[in-house]
Amino acid sequence: MTKRSKRVAIAIIGATAFTLAGCREEQVDAAAFPDLQSCTNEATRGGMFTAQDCEESFSQAETLHVDSAPRYDSLEVCEEQHGADACGSEAGATQGGSGSIFMPLLAGYLIGNMLGGRTGMSAGQPLYKTSDGRFTNAARSNTYSSNKGAAKLSTSQFARPASTAGKTPMTRATASSRGGFGKSGAGRTGFGG
């Protein structure tokens, strides 16, 4: 091999490594909490998020819940997907919703530090129980073993899910055709304490 071809080969390898590194999704510090109080309690003990981060992220999660939670045409179908006593009416969760449409109850929320460091911008996502006792976000992009703990998550876990408000609720047939809510998650993540 000549000197020129060695340099070209090294340049190609370097460019490939740089390109692959650029494709890797950014990871952020994240935590899951079953409720706002758990997050603010952790914040007072010097956790990775401030009480203000907790409040802002919980508010975001509640807003996304009202707009993007899965909706079902019956309580039975909702409970098949999320477990017994894990669902309520849309009217109970939203202003002006229907009493004949059912949604899972908020079972916690994810909070992520989107800019890094303690002064970064936080983002929130609602969590819902799945029928197998795990938890998933509204977009069903991941399934989590718990609704409490900390982990590194990709920024895509905080992407805004599609709105379900005003859309036709899922029936038993449509929920089955999708493999059930939370079953199409891209991966499974565990949270450590």
DSSP H or E stretch at residue 101: none
Q: What is the pLDDT of residue 125?
A: 93
The residues, any chain, with a CB within 8 Å of residue 85's CB and separated by 6 or more, are 79
Q: Is 132 helix (H, G, I), strand (E, B) or coil?
A: coil
Q: What is the mean pLDDT of each run of 10 residues along the chain (193 residues)?
A: 52 46 72 95 90 93 93 95 93 80 94 65 89 88 89 87 91 78 51 49
159 is written with which tokens? 């992407």
The answer to whether 103 and 78 have CB atoms below 8 angstroms apart is: yes
How are beta strands 143-144 and 149-154 bridged, if at all? unpaired
